[in-house]
Amino acid sequence: MAGALIVAIVIKTFLFQAFYIPSVSMEPTLKVGDRVLVNKLSYKLHDVHRGDIVVFERPSTDPQTVESCDGKSMTLMPQKNTEEVHDLIKRVVAVGGETVEVRTGRIFVNGSELNEPYLPANSSTPPFESTVFPAPCIKVPKDEVFVLGDNRGNSAASNRFGPIPESLIVGRAFVRVWPLGSLGGI
Protein backbone atom coordinates (compact mmCIF):
# COMPACT_ATOMS: atom_id res chain seq x y z
CA MET A 1 0.00 0.00 0.00
CA ALA A 2 2.85 2.42 0.84
CA GLY A 3 4.43 1.70 -2.56
CA ALA A 4 1.24 2.70 -4.37
CA LEU A 5 1.06 5.90 -2.36
CA ILE A 6 4.66 6.76 -3.22
CA VAL A 7 4.03 6.10 -6.92
CA ALA A 8 0.90 8.31 -6.80
CA ILE A 9 2.81 11.14 -5.12
CA VAL A 10 5.64 10.92 -7.65
CA ILE A 11 3.19 10.96 -10.58
CA LYS A 12 1.27 13.98 -9.23
CA THR A 13 4.41 15.89 -8.25
CA PHE A 14 6.49 15.36 -11.39
CA LEU A 15 4.41 13.95 -14.27
CA PHE A 16 0.65 14.51 -14.41
CA GLN A 17 -1.96 16.37 -12.42
CA ALA A 18 -5.72 16.70 -12.79
CA PHE A 19 -7.30 20.17 -12.85
CA TYR A 20 -10.92 21.23 -12.53
CA ILE A 21 -12.34 23.87 -14.92
CA PRO A 22 -14.04 26.48 -12.66
CA SER A 23 -15.28 29.04 -15.21
CA VAL A 24 -16.60 29.64 -18.72
CA SER A 25 -13.35 31.28 -19.90
CA MET A 26 -12.30 28.32 -22.09
CA GLU A 27 -15.70 27.49 -23.62
CA PRO A 28 -16.47 25.92 -26.00
CA THR A 29 -13.21 23.91 -25.76
CA LEU A 30 -13.59 23.22 -22.02
CA LYS A 31 -16.75 23.58 -19.97
CA VAL A 32 -17.34 24.35 -16.29
CA GLY A 33 -16.88 21.13 -14.32
CA ASP A 34 -14.62 19.43 -16.87
CA ARG A 35 -11.45 17.87 -15.52
CA VAL A 36 -8.25 17.78 -17.55
CA LEU A 37 -4.89 16.09 -17.14
CA VAL A 38 -1.85 18.30 -17.33
CA ASN A 39 1.57 17.04 -18.42
CA LYS A 40 3.99 18.69 -15.98
CA LEU A 41 7.08 17.32 -17.74
CA SER A 42 6.21 18.59 -21.23
CA TYR A 43 7.98 21.97 -21.07
CA LYS A 44 11.08 20.46 -19.51
CA LEU A 45 11.50 18.61 -22.82
CA HIS A 46 10.42 21.25 -25.37
CA ASP A 47 9.37 24.88 -25.73
CA VAL A 48 5.88 26.25 -25.21
CA HIS A 49 4.06 26.48 -28.54
CA ARG A 50 1.40 28.83 -29.78
CA GLY A 51 -1.96 27.04 -29.51
CA ASP A 52 -1.02 25.01 -26.40
CA ILE A 53 -3.55 25.01 -23.56
CA VAL A 54 -1.60 25.62 -20.38
CA VAL A 55 -2.30 25.65 -16.66
CA PHE A 56 -0.36 28.33 -14.81
CA GLU A 57 -0.17 29.95 -11.41
CA ARG A 58 -2.06 33.23 -11.15
CA PRO A 59 0.44 35.97 -12.08
CA SER A 60 1.33 38.99 -10.01
CA THR A 61 -0.67 42.17 -10.51
CA ASP A 62 2.43 44.30 -10.08
CA PRO A 63 3.14 46.72 -12.95
CA GLN A 64 5.38 45.28 -15.66
CA THR A 65 7.41 46.97 -18.37
CA VAL A 66 7.20 45.61 -21.92
CA GLU A 67 8.04 46.88 -25.37
CA SER A 68 5.31 48.18 -27.67
CA CYS A 69 5.37 47.15 -31.33
CA ASP A 70 6.96 50.48 -32.25
CA GLY A 71 9.89 49.67 -29.94
CA LYS A 72 8.98 52.06 -27.14
CA SER A 73 9.02 50.91 -23.52
CA MET A 74 5.64 50.96 -21.78
CA THR A 75 4.33 49.95 -18.39
CA LEU A 76 1.35 47.62 -18.09
CA MET A 77 -0.85 48.19 -15.04
CA PRO A 78 -2.63 44.85 -14.47
CA GLN A 79 -6.03 44.92 -12.82
CA LYS A 80 -6.08 43.77 -9.22
CA ASN A 81 -7.85 40.45 -8.86
CA THR A 82 -10.27 39.42 -6.14
CA GLU A 83 -10.76 35.83 -7.35
CA GLU A 84 -9.48 33.06 -5.12
CA VAL A 85 -8.66 30.57 -7.90
CA HIS A 86 -4.90 29.91 -7.71
CA ASP A 87 -4.34 28.09 -11.04
CA LEU A 88 -5.69 29.32 -14.36
CA ILE A 89 -6.06 27.57 -17.71
CA LYS A 90 -5.76 29.45 -21.01
CA ARG A 91 -4.47 29.07 -24.57
CA VAL A 92 -1.07 30.43 -25.65
CA VAL A 93 -1.53 32.88 -28.55
CA ALA A 94 2.00 34.34 -28.67
CA VAL A 95 5.41 33.39 -27.29
CA GLY A 96 8.50 35.40 -26.34
CA GLY A 97 9.78 37.67 -29.10
CA GLU A 98 6.46 37.78 -30.99
CA THR A 99 4.20 40.82 -31.29
CA VAL A 100 0.51 40.51 -30.45
CA GLU A 101 -2.42 42.82 -31.05
CA VAL A 102 -6.17 42.85 -31.67
CA ARG A 103 -7.49 44.35 -34.91
CA THR A 104 -11.18 44.29 -35.83
CA GLY A 105 -11.86 41.51 -33.33
CA ARG A 106 -9.04 39.25 -34.50
CA ILE A 107 -5.65 38.40 -32.99
CA PHE A 108 -2.58 39.31 -35.04
CA VAL A 109 0.82 37.81 -34.24
CA ASN A 110 3.86 39.35 -35.93
CA GLY A 111 1.46 41.28 -38.18
CA SER A 112 -0.39 38.21 -39.50
CA GLU A 113 -3.88 37.15 -38.49
CA LEU A 114 -3.76 34.13 -36.19
CA ASN A 115 -5.70 31.12 -37.48
CA GLU A 116 -7.92 30.08 -34.55
CA PRO A 117 -10.12 27.14 -35.66
CA TYR A 118 -10.96 26.35 -32.00
CA LEU A 119 -13.01 29.57 -31.64
CA PRO A 120 -16.74 29.54 -32.43
CA ALA A 121 -17.74 30.96 -35.81
CA ASN A 122 -18.32 34.72 -35.74
CA SER A 123 -16.55 35.12 -32.38
CA SER A 124 -14.70 38.34 -31.77
CA THR A 125 -11.78 39.21 -29.50
CA PRO A 126 -12.39 42.43 -27.55
CA PRO A 127 -9.63 45.05 -27.61
CA PHE A 128 -7.05 44.71 -24.83
CA GLU A 129 -8.03 46.60 -21.68
CA SER A 130 -7.06 50.23 -22.24
CA THR A 131 -6.60 50.66 -18.49
CA VAL A 132 -3.87 47.98 -18.63
CA PHE A 133 -2.37 48.50 -22.12
CA PRO A 134 -1.26 52.02 -23.07
CA ALA A 135 -0.63 50.78 -26.65
CA PRO A 136 -2.69 48.33 -28.76
CA CYS A 137 0.28 46.14 -29.73
CA ILE A 138 3.06 44.68 -27.57
CA LYS A 139 6.12 42.52 -28.02
CA VAL A 140 6.01 39.51 -25.70
CA PRO A 141 9.18 39.48 -23.59
CA LYS A 142 11.66 36.59 -23.83
CA ASP A 143 10.68 33.60 -21.66
CA GLU A 144 7.08 34.83 -21.38
CA VAL A 145 3.85 33.96 -23.19
CA PHE A 146 0.61 35.78 -24.00
CA VAL A 147 -2.46 33.72 -23.10
CA LEU A 148 -6.19 34.14 -23.76
CA GLY A 149 -9.29 32.12 -22.97
CA ASP A 150 -11.21 30.66 -25.92
CA ASN A 151 -14.34 32.47 -24.64
CA ARG A 152 -12.78 35.84 -25.35
CA GLY A 153 -15.64 37.99 -24.02
CA ASN A 154 -15.67 36.17 -20.67
CA SER A 155 -12.02 35.60 -19.86
CA ALA A 156 -9.51 37.52 -17.79
CA ALA A 157 -6.11 36.59 -19.15
CA SER A 158 -3.11 38.38 -20.66
CA ASN A 159 -5.59 40.93 -22.02
CA ARG A 160 -6.01 42.01 -18.36
CA PHE A 161 -2.71 41.11 -16.65
CA GLY A 162 -0.17 41.12 -19.49
CA PRO A 163 2.22 38.37 -20.60
CA ILE A 164 3.08 35.70 -18.04
CA PRO A 165 6.52 34.25 -17.25
CA GLU A 166 6.99 30.70 -18.53
CA SER A 167 8.17 29.85 -15.01
CA LEU A 168 4.53 30.14 -13.82
CA ILE A 169 3.38 27.40 -16.21
CA VAL A 170 2.48 24.18 -14.37
CA GLY A 171 2.11 22.19 -17.57
CA ARG A 172 0.23 21.52 -20.81
CA ALA A 173 -3.37 20.30 -20.68
CA PHE A 174 -3.67 17.42 -23.11
CA VAL A 175 -6.73 15.30 -22.29
CA ARG A 176 -10.19 15.77 -20.80
CA VAL A 177 -10.89 12.98 -18.30
CA TRP A 178 -14.31 14.13 -17.00
CA PRO A 179 -17.09 13.86 -17.83
CA LEU A 180 -16.52 10.39 -19.16
CA GLY A 181 -18.73 11.08 -22.19
CA SER A 182 -16.30 13.81 -23.23
CA LEU A 183 -13.12 11.81 -22.57
CA GLY A 184 -10.46 12.60 -25.15
CA GLY A 185 -7.69 14.85 -26.36
CA ILE A 186 -7.95 18.62 -26.31
- Active-site residues, by number, are 25, 90
Q: How many CA atoms lie within 13 A of 169 on its CB side?
A: 29
Rounded CA gap, 146 and 128, in Å?
Answer: 12
Query: Among 81, 89, 82, which residue's Cα sits nearest to residue 20?
Result: 89
- Is the Cβ–Cβ distance between 10 and 152 less than 8 Å? no
Rounded CA gap, 81 and 156, in Å?
Answer: 10
- What is the DSSP track for 119-137? SPTT--PPPPPTTT-SSSE
Q: Which residues contact 1 (CB under 8 A, 6 or more apart)?
A: none
Cis peptide before 28 (omega within 30 of 0): yes
- Is the Cβ–Cβ distance between 49 and 95 less than 8 Å? yes
